[in-house]
Amino acid sequence: MRKLYNRINREELIQKMVHSTEPRTTLSFYKYHKIENPPFFRNYLYEKLDDIQTLGRIYLAKEGINGQISVPDQNIDSFKTIMDDIEFLKGIRLNYAIEDDGKSFFKLIIKVRKKIVADGIEDPDFDSSDCGIHLNAREFNELASKKDTIIVDMRNHYESEVGHFENAILPQAVTFREELPMVKEMLSDQKEKDIIMYCTGGIRCEKASAYLKHAGFKNVYQLNGGIIEYARQVHEQSLENKFLGKNFVFDERLGERISDEIISRCHQCGTPCDSHVNCKNDQCHILFIQCPDCAKKYENCCSRRCADFIKLDHQTQIQLKTMIEFNGSKFSKGRYKALGKDEALNVS
């Protein structure tokens, strides 16, 4: 029987990706469309994409598909043919990465989920297809320049921390599910104003704009293709770039630069920095911002405690891992800021 899941060790796959010289292209796509049998479609898609050495992450649900992948350059045409052979994906917009070294993913994962974007919406009358008016980069700049226009970042707080549009509202949400009602409440007395919503590639504000319209907001817009497509159009058309900093991405790169500004700071020392990393201690693995000096000082960890822990032998780590509280145990993504007292690990 044909294998429909990866069976190779994670570390082996990562090393293979790191040392590969094969040119690859990173891209993302999504489509809201009713899929009758997601598990069957999942297996069909895995077989087709695995054949052309696709790596990345794809989520399927009855409401549609959401994918972030990398494909060998020599197989891009084959990938497009696979997509075009699927009726509802024919001609789908592909968002190409801005900064791409071909090392964004190390394996192919295709999962069936309840929804392609977890939203917490249970209202049976909600129609995600009744979304806001799509804006291209030029139209976005024009509307964003008007005095009373409201711009809303529909990403999580750790994404907007390193980059966002000028004058945007930046809800301090940890999840999209949490952010939807938060934004509705924040704007409850401004239902007649022009509201522009944006996210990384468009999938979240597609649903968020429909959510606000369902709640009675009159003039809702969304940035078509998100920050990724905006950056491409700005570059190709020599438009003013209203995005400041980096665009956070959910792959091994963790970010791609859209402008030269650095608007965030190292979570450990406070120096200007916008490089997200995960703590090297896998028992912690918290996502945070770390500058090169702190990476050296803390040995790519978020704290001295984690740096001490990874030096222990494997058996000792197994014995102690459930007995020690790390930053990853206490804080959600990006909420970590260096503690006033950086305690060393005490195993006595």
- Per residue in 259-290, pLDDT (tens digit) is 999 999 999 999 999 999 999 999 999 999 99
pTM: 0.86
SS3 237: helix
Angle at 195 between CA 193 and CA 201, to 5 degrees: 175
What is the Cβ-side half-sphere exposure of residue 66, based on CA atoms within 13 angstroms? 22
Q: Which residues pair with 83 in a beta bridge?
A: none
Instruction: Summarize pLDDT for 208-262 with one digit per residue, the tens.
Output: 999 999 999 999 999 999 999 999 999 999 999 999 999 999 888 999 999 999 9
* CA torsion through residues 200, 206, 173, 326, sign: negative
Query: Which pLDDT band, with edges at 50, 70 and 90, does 3 fall under?
Result: low
Q: What percent of the chain has a predicted confidence (pLDDT) above 90?
A: 80
Q: Which of 199, 273, 284, 291 is catalytic?
A: 199
Task: State which CATH number among 3.30.70.100, 3.40.50.300, 1.10.579.10, 3.40.1190.20 fits the domain covering 10-112.
Answer: 3.30.70.100
- Highest mean pLDDT: which of 232-241, 323-332, 334-343? 232-241
> Is residue 169 predicted with pLDDT exceeding 80?
yes
Task: Output the six-digit token pair for 288.
Answer: 């945070």
**Alpha-helix runs per DSSP H in 27-149:** 38-51, 76-84, 137-144
With left for phi above 0 and alpha for psi between -120 and 50, is residue 238 left, alpha or beta? left
Query: So where are the chain's domains?
Result: 10-112, 133-245, 264-348
d(CA 58, CA 46): 9
* One-letter amino acid for residue 188 of the chain: S
Helix axes 76-84, 38-51, angle to 10 degrees: 160
> Is residue 341 predicted with pLDDT exceeding 60?
no
* CA torsion through residues 30, 34, 39, 40, sign: negative
Say if residues 190 and 148 touch (Cβ distance below 8 Å).
no
Instruction: Summarize pLDDT for 52-84 with one digit per residue, the tens.
Output: 999 999 999 999 999 999 999 999 999 999 999
Q: What is the DSSP string of 121-132?
A: ---TT--TTS-P
Query: Which pLDDT band, with edges at 50, 70 and 90, does 4 fall under?
Result: confident
Query: Which pLDDT band, with edges at 50, 70 and 90, does 129 fall under?
Result: confident
Q: What percent of the chain has a predicted confidence (pLDDT) above 70?
A: 94
Q: Look-up: residue for tokens 């606000």?
A: 212
> Is residue 344 predicted with pLDDT exceeding 70?
no
d(CA 306, CA 279): 8
Q: What is the mean pLDDT of residues 101-130?
A: 90
Say if residues 200 and 172 touch (Cβ distance below 8 Å).
no
Query: Which pLDDT band, with edges at 50, 70 and 90, does 2 fall under?
Result: low
Query: Which pLDDT band, with edges at 50, 70 and 90, does 16 fall under?
Result: confident
The pLDDT, as a whole number, for residue 346 is: 67
Task: Tell me which fold the domain 133-245 belongs to.
Answer: Oxidized Rhodanese; domain 1 (3.40.250)
SS3 329: helix
Query: Which pLDDT band, with edges at 50, 70 and 90, does 1 fall under?
Result: very low
For 73, residues 6+ apart whose C-beta sits below 8 A from its C-beta are: 23, 24, 25
**279 counts as catalytic:** no
d(CA 192, CA 93): 31
The 10 Å CB-count burial string (b at 16+, else e) for 291-311 is beebbebbebbbbbbbbbbbe
